[in-house]
Amino acid sequence: MRADKSTIKKIWPWLFAAPLMIAGMLFWPGGIEPPQEAAAAGDRISGECLEPHIGASGRHQMKTQSGLGYVVVTPTDYSAKHRYGLLMLFPPAGFSKIASERFYRITHDATAAGYVVAFSDALPLSSHAIRAQAEVVPEIAKRWCIDADRIVLAGHSDGGLVAQGTVIKAHLSTIQRGTIVSSAAGIQQQDLTAEKCPTPKAVTLLHPAHDERFPAYGWGVAKWWANCFTCKPMTDEPSPGECRDAQVCNASSSVRFCKTTESHAQYSPEFGQQLKLLMQSSRQSSN
């Protein structure tokens, strides 16, 4: 059963409800991208992690302590003598970790940019689901050598909602840092009026201009994040196919909103492009 907009509004504080994706999305055509060697030495930040990390290079099927399945893929030349960024992709509703990896199609670019990339199994959205999804990043950071300043939390639809929720709902999660990239999430500005402002480094929101599930969502949430970062008020909503950046924000924080042209159920190439831009910029700023 898919949650409608009125249901989401009623149960947001507890369940972070969002729609199930259409069944056709669960079988995205094409294989899984192979991991790549980090493209340059600068993609691997010098300096060993202070504590021993037992994670090895390659592809690893994992489970959290609470039993949530996820897959971790490292650059082929991963070494615990270097710190790597982490790209965490949360799944659309009903997607397994493997289906998510096929849907997002980012493994090649992330590992080539010196990132460890991870995909988790979907859970029906609830407070328990937020807690369970929030366990993945800390567990990865314990096993692999991760640069805490280069953690990206991202996802589409339910996945985008979880990416924001693991940071907004601080009582459910220990994740307080990182960058958020959220696409087509079923959140409105009024849903957030009672929430305290969290402290991620940057937030990029994407929302379809003609989203059949959540029409006119996204822009208000971008304005809420801009207020959290004490940016100048965002007043010039972009046209379809355009992005807008909040201006004069707190030091080292930023908000971007992109209005995409795809339907709710479609993967937006702009989502992948924004991820690539963030990974590139974070790599340069760390060098």
- Which tens digit of pLDDT belongs to each residue from 235-270? 999 999 999 999 999 878 899 999 999 999 988 999
Q: Which residues face 72 on adjacent strands?
A: 60, 118
pLDDT of residue 54: 79
Contacts of 214 (CB under 8 A, 6+ apart): 5, 184, 185, 186, 207, 264
Query: Contact 21/92 with Cβ under 8 angstroms?
Result: yes
From the list 226, 209, 213, 105, the residue with the least C-alpha distance to 154 is 105
Contacts of 244 (CB under 8 A, 6+ apart): 222, 234, 236, 237, 238, 256, 257, 258
Helix (H, G, I), strand (E, B) or coil at 174: coil
pLDDT tens-digit series, residues 188-209: 999 998 999 988 889 999 999 9
Mean pLDDT of the chain: 83
Taking 90 as the threshold, does the pLDDT of residue 177 lie above it? no
Helix (H, G, I), strand (E, B) or coil at 111: helix
d(CA 280, CA 274): 10
Contacts of 62 (CB under 8 A, 6+ apart): 69, 70, 71, 72, 139
pLDDT of residue 48: 62
Residue 90, classified by CB atoms within 10 Å of its CB into exposed (0-12), middle (13-18) or buried (19+), is buried
Handedness of CA 278, 269, 180, 38 (dihedral sign): negative
Q: How confident is the model at residue 4 (pLDDT cuts 50, 70, 90)?
A: very low
pLDDT of residue 251: 77
State the distance between the two ends of the chain, measured CA to CA, in whole angstroms: 48
Taking 90 as the threshold, does the pLDDT of residue 211 lie above it? yes
Query: Contact 125/158 with Cβ under 8 angstroms?
Result: yes
Q: How confident is the model at residue 12 (pLDDT cuts 50, 70, 90)?
A: very low
pLDDT of residue 14: 36
Residue 110: both structure tokens together: 């992330």
Q: How confident is the model at residue 218 (pLDDT cuts 50, 70, 90)?
A: very high
